[in-house]
Amino acid sequence: MKVIISTRNLSLTKALQDYIDKKINSLEHFIEASAKFNSQALARVEIEKMTQHHKKGDYFKASAILTLSSYRFRAESLGPDLYAAVDELKDELARQLKHDRGKKTAKYLRGARFFKHIVKFSPLAWFKNKKGHREREEGF
């Protein structure tokens, strides 16, 4: 995974760069588990110190855009410490990647359940509409 790091109002140290690379590259196992992300992953990470005069509170901001083929995942976090903000950022991106993988699985299982439901009836008892409810025939 290629990681591009940019900073605002602070300098990028080697230790900080290694920490961000380690955290963002830990997301690779989510990407490899999904077959639809077949191209090179690109992560653009931006870290900034939002104010110069505050000494307390959440004044470090970390944001990232993870691009995988035609999919984009965006996360943003605030924290009192730069490392804490990067940790929250990684957790949010991991949550989004897990959710996307779960959507694909759920859609597949929903289709399999519907197919199983149709197959267990004889063709004469198949439903006439697509929603799965029988049409009621009423006599006059």
β pairing state of 2-8 and 60-68: unpaired
pLDDT digits (tens, 9 = 90+) for 17-52: 999 999 999 998 888 766 566 668 899 999 999 887
pLDDT digits (tens, 9 = 90+) for 90-118: 999 999 988 887 787 888 899 888 888 77
- The Cα–Cα gap between 61 and 79 comes to 7
Asked if residue 140 has pLDDT above 80, the reply is no
pLDDT digits (tens, 9 = 90+) for 49-100: 988 777 777 789 999 999 988 789 999 999 988 999 999 999 999 999 888 8
Cβ neighbours around 20 below 10 Å, total: 23
- Map out the domains of the chain with their CATH numbers: 2-123 (3.30.160.100)
Dihedral of CA 33/37/41/43: which sign? negative
